[in-house]
Amino acid sequence: MRYVSTRGAAPVLGFDEVVLAGLAADGGLYVPEEWPSLSEREWRSLRGLSHAELALRVMLPFVGAALTEEELADLVDAAYARFDHPAVAPLRQIGPHDWMMELFHGPTLAFKDHAMQVLGPLFDLLLTRAGRRVTIVGATSGDTGSAAIEACRDRDAIDVFILHPKDRVSEVQRRQMTTVQSANVHNIAVNGTFDDCQALLKSLFADATFRDEVGLSAVNSINWARIMAQVVYYAWAGVALGAPDRSLGFSVPTGNFGNVFAGYVARQMGLPIDRLVVGSNRNDILSRFLETGTMQQETVIPTLSPSMDIQVSSNFERLLFEMHGRDSIEVRAAMESFRQSGSYSVPDDLHQELLGLFRGHRLTDEETSEAMRIILETTGELVDPHTAIGIVAGQVAGRRDEGGVTVSLATAHPAKFPDAVEKATGIRPPLPSRLADLYQRSERLVEAPNDTRVLQQIVRDGIRR
């Protein structure tokens, strides 16, 4: 499988090179040259497989010749072995046609482990094979950071630096990152928002000299391998709930658009998905875009669902590329307009086409709290704020064709956001036993201003050469 950049000016690369590159050299995002697709018979043949077996079948076409089937099989086996539920992504029924898929059984209690637990060993394998090492710099709104750290800690070929917006992630989220005592792990609290962190990250990548000097690489959701690994659980839910003989809607609490884009990929592969609902908090750039056809950036407001406090959804560029018939000139124009004026619009016909599949729904913090309370009352499930947004968005904006089902993605364990959950429901969710002493562990982090030069120095000083 070969990969092209959404901006059309970067070299066409193989899977291994795309994984190690992260962002494309022209500032674009890599996507497969063509979408692999499974026939209905092939979809049916996935029924009854374990999560790891199904993952192998879903990912193999994207990997191509970069890994042997055996290498990929070993990798996914090891990745899912770190999850603490034998189903990996258990489905729970929460209504007559409504399900919730628990994606929080990995080491850091959020769905990002699904991708990171694959990406970490994948990086290590590809680097070791190439005799190289990398410096991973990531920006996190809360959950990516700990997932990346858990996936990359103590790996010889990797140094990892994670930027988080100071005081804008929950204490559990921060401690999951800062209490890791590994020499190759560096936490940086930036005086700014998550979007500032993302902009800093982009500026590091834009500096070619620095990029080469430290061997910069990314594990943010712009990395293609993360999207690929996330396609797996859409296929998992779909096959378990009767696809391809039953249509599916998914509702996804959304920030960077990486998770929901993986659902789009599953659809491109032939899974009969007829609705993708984008749930947001008051940082509702995507919901507004779906209403108006204009992507209009506003300032970030802190909310009860901090992993979605985002106003620049990087992965949307991949969908834009598809919508424009893979015309990279159109993508470049839109991105340039967004960079200069904080906004771009899509033509009416494309907007209408988009609404055939996507819908958005936004909740205020008050509505989110109310939702957590009602969900507990009606289903017995204690859910985190992000999950609550997904469930309500699915109820409001999900389409249910005759016989179809809606699956809401439960993206975080409630214990990751104990204050918000307790305030809404009166119940303080306990941490799983393997994390029970998190509040007693000591923290390691440095503070930094929102400044590229300072950040570059921190990275230079920290890497093991």
Ligand X SMILES: *Cc1c(COP(=O)(O)O)cnc(C)c1O
| Identified binder of ligand X from the candidate list 210, 234, 257, 289, rule CB under 6 A | 257
| Identified binder of ligand X from the candidate list 178, 193, 406, 411, rule CB under 6 A | 411
Q: How far apart are CA 136 and CA 122, in angstroms?
A: 14
Q: Which is nearer to ligand X, 223 or 456 (CB)?
A: 223
In 3D space, the residue among 253, 383, 354 whose CA is nearest the CA of residue 313 turns out to be 253
> Interface with ligand X includes 255 (CB under 6 A)?
yes
Q: Which is nearer to ligand X, 38 or 109 (CB)?
A: 109
For this structure, is 112 an active site residue?
Answer: yes
> Interface with ligand X includes 386 (CB under 6 A)?
yes
Residues within window 283-342 making contact with ligand X, judged by CB under 6 A: 307-308
In 3D space, the residue among 27, 91, 39 whose CA is nearest the CA of residue 272 turns out to be 39
> Interface with ligand X includes 145 (CB under 6 A)?
no
| Identified binder of ligand X from the candidate list 106, 215, 253, 418, rule CB under 6 A | 253
Q: How far apart are CA 31 and CA 227, in angstroms?
A: 10
Marked catalytic residue, from 112, 166, 202, 416: 112
Find the shortest distance in angstroms from Cβ 152 to ligand X: 17
Q: In this chain, which stretch among 210-218, 252-260, 361-369, 449-457 interacts with ligand X, using CB under 6 A? A: 252-260
| 8 A C-beta contact, residue 114 and residue 411 | no
Find the shortest distance in angstroms from Cβ 104 to ligand X: 8
Residues within window 200-229 making contact with ligand X, judged by CB under 6 A: 221
| Identified binder of ligand X from the candidate list 254, 328, 408, 425, rule CB under 6 A | 254
Find the shortest distance in angstroms from Cβ 259 to ligand X: 4
Q: In this chain, which stretch among 48-56, 71-79, 88-96, 257-265 interacts with ligand X, using CB under 6 A? A: 257-265
| Identified binder of ligand X from the candidate list 22, 121, 244, 258, rule CB under 6 A | 258
**Cα angle at 338 between 337 and 341, to 5 degrees?**
75
Q: In this chain, which stretch among 73-81, 176-184, 251-259, 424-432 interacts with ligand X, using CB under 6 A? A: 251-259
Region class of 347: left (phi > 0), else alpha (psi between -120 and 50), else beta: beta
**Alpha helix (H) residue ranges in 207-254:** 208-214, 224-240
The residues that bridge with 217 in the sheet, in sequence order, are: 136
Find the shortest distance in angstroms from Cβ 151 to ligand X: 14
The DSSP element (H or E) to which 161 belongs, if any, is strand 158-165
**Cα angle at 263 between 161 and 414, to 5 degrees?**
60
DSSP 300-321: ----S-GGG--S--TTHHHHHH
**Catalytic residue ranges:** 112
